[in-house]
Amino acid sequence: MGIRKIIVPLSLCLVLAACGIIPFTGGDEKVVKRIPDKVPGWLNDGFSETGGYFHVVGRAVKVDSAAKCIYEAKLNANLEIVKDLRAKARSEFADAARGVDVSADEKAPYLDSLAESTGDDLEIKGILPDGTYQERVMVGEPPKPGYYFNCEILISLPHQNYERARGVALSSFKDNAKGKTAEAIAKAADAKFGGGQGS
């Protein structure tokens, strides 16, 4: 989760800060508003899977508007779910290829390729928002404090979307597999995942 770095002229910073748009730094900070009032239990959850869905939390911090904060949190959640699903796919493909009689170092580039391809075909439009949490933070003291927003969003992705993406990745890998190692990995994964079509 990267924090954006923006360089603007000092005069513009002073004008925006005076309007309460951009926070001054170095002053006392205080959360002055939470939506909802009670911090949700999912806030510190990582990647999880329940009820046929994958769940992940996206975050954005120190953003100058609530709407932009939610937007950035959604983008970060999408990136997180692709990253986590690629890690899951790599682990599954590695497990399927456990019986392939080559070294781990030799398998690695093929497993990486499969995992990366899984993310490429993920149906991002299937992602569903399950909850949001916002904080408005005041920096400095009245009469001219600055403000920024912290936001978190919980999103869910149907498991079948991941299965489909994994299947497409395996099918493509099988079609392009060259060399004994690649062909052996494709065959092992194909056997485990039912032809790479997903469930």
Where do the structural domains in the chain lie, given as residue ranges?
A: 10-192
2 or 110, greater pLDDT: 110
Q: Rounded mean pLDDT of 26-38? A: 89
Give the neighbor-by-neighbor strand order of the sheet with 146-158: 29-35, 128-139, 146-158, 53-63, 48-50
pLDDT in tens, 39-60: 999 988 888 888 899 999 999 9
145: enclosing H helix or E strand: none
pTM: 0.73
Percent of the chain with pLDDT over 90: 48
Give the alpha-carbon dihedral of 166, 170, 173, 179, to 10 degrees: 130
11 or 117, greater pLDDT: 117
Instruction: Answer whether residue 13 shows pLDDT above 60.
Output: no
What would the CATH number be for the domain defined by 10-192?
3.10.129
pLDDT in tens, 70-111: 999 999 998 888 888 899 999 999 999 998 998 999 999 999
Pairing of strands 146-158, 53-63: antiparallel
Instruction: Answer whether residue 3 shows pLDDT above 50.
Output: no
Q: What is the CA angle 155-47-127, rounded to 5?
A: 25
Closest CA to 117 of 1, 2, 196, 199: 196
Beta pairing partners, 129: 155
Give the alpha-carbon dihedral of 21, 25, 27, 33, to 10 degrees: 40
Buried b (16+ CB within 10 A) or exposed e, 15-38: eebeeeebbeeeeebeeeeeeeee
Half-sphere exposure of 1 (CA within 13 A, CB side): 20
